[in-house]
Amino acid sequence: MLVMLVVVWFIPWVKSMQGASKRNTLPTDDEQEMFEKTIIYDMEITQVLTDCIREFGAQWGILWQFHNGIMSTAGVPFMKMSVTHEATAPDFEPRGAPYINIPTSIFSDALQTLQKVCVLYVPLDSKFGSITSIFRKEKVHHGYYIRVLNEKDRLIAAMSITYAKAHKIEEDEYPKLKVYATRIAILLAKLATAYPKKQRIGDRK
């Protein structure tokens, strides 16, 4: 009877559970489409950074995005920033990998200035100590930070291009940098719409 019970009921039940588990782990058509769109937009953003550093002769191009962090015990939200995309010139190593979940408070002085200007120039002797300390550590000579705004003109990210040696970008070229930042803003908007509304922080109430 025990053998019959195993053969007739238990084995088919196990197989049905395995089948259900496999079906649950497979991505749906919507999830697969979302994944494919994400890859495409990510590659396009990286290409924008690549185009930018080529045109301006920079060694690194990085996109910093702002996002929600964890909540303090007092109920104060921590805003953070992370490197999400990067392009490098030939023979130069990427620099962005360590910069994930960095509190925005560390760069509050630079971010406050970036809200007022389109392009922020940061040499090694600038007042923005958090940035210049990173530059010295990673042998960066100087950099430019370009604000990325959404359709409501709110700061959502920052694009940076940095140099290993002296290379000045004249102010009359700043509009070109702004064009690259706008291209990234458009791609970020497309990337956001690829996700269901309930997964997008901006749509939560």
Residues 162-187 have pLDDT tens digits of 999 999 999 999 999 999 999 999 99
Burial class (CB in 10 A: 0-12, 13-18, 19+), 59: buried
At 127, give phi and psi (nearest 5°): -80, -5
For 105-130, write each residue's pLDDT tens digit. 999 999 999 999 999 999 999 999 99
Q: What is the DSSP letter of 10?
A: I
Give the closest residue to 122 by CA, choosing from 149, 158, 78, 84.
158
H/E element, 21: helix 11-25
* Of 177 and 1, the one with more pLDDT: 177
Torsion of CA 184, 186, 188, 193, to 10 degrees: -170
CA torsion, ordered 106, 108, 109, 111, to nearest 10 deg: 120
Terminal CA-to-CA distance of the chain, rounded, Å? Answer: 58
Is the C-alpha dihedral spanning 174, 118, 177, 97 positive or negative? Answer: positive
Q: Where are the domains of the chain?
A: 30-203
Q: What is the CATH number of domain 30-203?
A: 3.30.450.40
pTM, two decimal places: 0.79
| Per-residue pLDDT, 28 | 74
Q: At what angle do helices 174-193 and 29-56 cross, to 10 degrees?
A: 170
**Average of per-residue pLDDT across 146-169:** 96
